[in-house]
Homo-oligomer: A and B are copies of this chain.
């Protein structure tokens, strides 16, 4: 961590739980750019302990921390203000009660607190063991929930696909320009989205130069998309989400097909997006060029666009699945929660 942080007496103290995955790695990289937050500890399970640079040689001479065993009863000693949870679903909800109990604020990368209705969660994931904190959790999409995020104790950081789909869709459904049902979200993701564990499907010679659909009708981000879009628009949103694996490290792009409620033009759709996102520092409405993943990878930006074509509305969203789709979106939430400039450390 760079020295500026150490000297900043008012820097908040942050712990990271789950440093060995790709999103945890990005936490370390990006917090090193943030003047107001100091990473004071990294924690993980007992079979993944040791110096962070042993997991990520990228971090040598940049992060001297070791991943230590997460022991909830030692939390008080850390005097930490914020816990960042980069752990899988199910694990997250087993840690949250202790963290909140120790007076830490929490941002959770997992799905455990994203779905308001435990029955929906349990249909798509597993039994929920901390339903008591579901109501309190704020869905961490800063473009829409900034007020609630500022004071939240527990932020459920959105999924990558739901962020990428909700940002282009929410304004045009809300404005009544397109029907809230019968929507198709066709999406692609870079392979880092699948995590760090080797498997035949992600073996380089199988994945490279290969484009492949997966999870037809079964991806767990589908109900999350419907929930967040329903919340944002006050409509019953129904959509089909179809993801694909694209042979690149990172980047996500949604191509969304919706039925206009009337004869809309590209200009009307675009104006609707521009009105929604003019004040948003990290959402850009594209007109001259279409969104492409390379404009957003390695950044916290989400690019959106809308076009009318052959009687449909075609919407696009693009972001970096590990950043605006995960880690830097979480840090944007952190900025709101602790009164930093929303963009601090995020360029």
Residue A338, interface by CB 8 Å: no
Chain A 187-227 residues near chain B, CB threshold 8 A = 188, 190-192, 194, 196-200, 202-214, 216-218
Looking at the assembled complex, report how far the CB atom of A283 sits from the nearest CB atom of chain B, in whole angstroms: 8
A218 to B307, CA, bound (A): 11
B292 engages A212 (CB within 8 Å): yes
Chain A 87-146 residues near chain B, CB threshold 8 A = none
- Chain copies in complex: 4
> Which residue of A35, A209, A293, A298 has the most chain B CB atoms within 10 A of its CB atom?
A209
Interface string of A298-327 (1 = CB under 8 A from B): 110101000111111010100000000000
Residue A2, interface by CB 8 Å: yes
Interface string of A268-293 (1 = CB under 8 A from B): 00000000000001101010111111
Residue A27, interface by CB 8 Å: no
A3 engages B341 (CB within 8 Å): yes
Q: Given that A61-B284, A257-B257 are known contacts, is A208 also in contact with B248, CB under 8 Å in the complex?
A: yes
Q: Which of A151-159, A163-171, A238-246 contacts B (4 or more CB under 8 A)?
A: A238-246
Residue A24, interface by CB 8 Å: no
Residue A58, interface by CB 8 Å: yes
Looking at the assembled complex, report how far the CB atom of A289 sits from the nearest CB atom of chain B, in whole angstroms: 5
Chain A 238-264 residues near chain B, CB threshold 8 A = 238, 240, 242, 244, 246-251, 253, 255, 257
How many positions in chain A have a CB within 8 Å of any CB in the partner chain? 85
Give the dominant DSSP class at A's interface.
Answer: loop
A58 to B347, CA, bound (A): 11
Looking at the assembled complex, report how far the CB atom of A169 sits from the nearest CB atom of chain B, in whole angstroms: 16
Residues of B within 8 A of A175 (CB): none
A188 engages B205 (CB within 8 Å): no
Q: Which residue of B lies closest to A209 (CB)?
A: B248
Residue A79, interface by CB 8 Å: no
Residues of B within 8 A of A190 (CB): 205, 209
Residue A29, interface by CB 8 Å: yes
Chain A 70-95 residues near chain B, CB threshold 8 A = none
B347 engages A29 (CB within 8 Å): yes
Residues of B within 8 A of A311 (CB): 240
Could you say which of B2, B196, B218 contacts A203, with CB atoms under 8 Å apart?
A: B196
Looking at the assembled complex, report how far the CB atom of A229 sits from the nearest CB atom of chain B, in whole angstroms: 15
Residues of B within 8 A of A282 (CB): 61
Residue A40, interface by CB 8 Å: no
B206 engages A294 (CB within 8 Å): yes
Residue A33, interface by CB 8 Å: yes
Q: Which residue of B lies closest to A280 (CB)?
A: B61
A205 to B214, CA, bound (A): 18
The 10 closest A-B pairs by CB, nearest first: A217-B309, A212-B292, A210-B294, A32-B347, A198-B198, A204-B207, A198-B203, A216-B307, A209-B248, A186-B186
> Can you report 13 residue pairs joining A to B where beta carbons are below 8 Å apart?
A33-B347, A58-B294, A62-B347, A209-B248, A209-B250, A211-B246, A216-B290, A216-B307, A216-B309, A216-B314, A240-B309, A247-B247, A257-B257
Besides A209-B293, A240-B310, A246-B247, 16 other A-B contacts (C-beta < 8 A): A57-B303, A186-B186, A186-B257, A190-B205, A192-B205, A198-B202, A204-B247, A209-B209, A210-B248, A210-B294, A211-B246, A211-B293, A213-B253, A217-B314, A240-B257, A247-B247
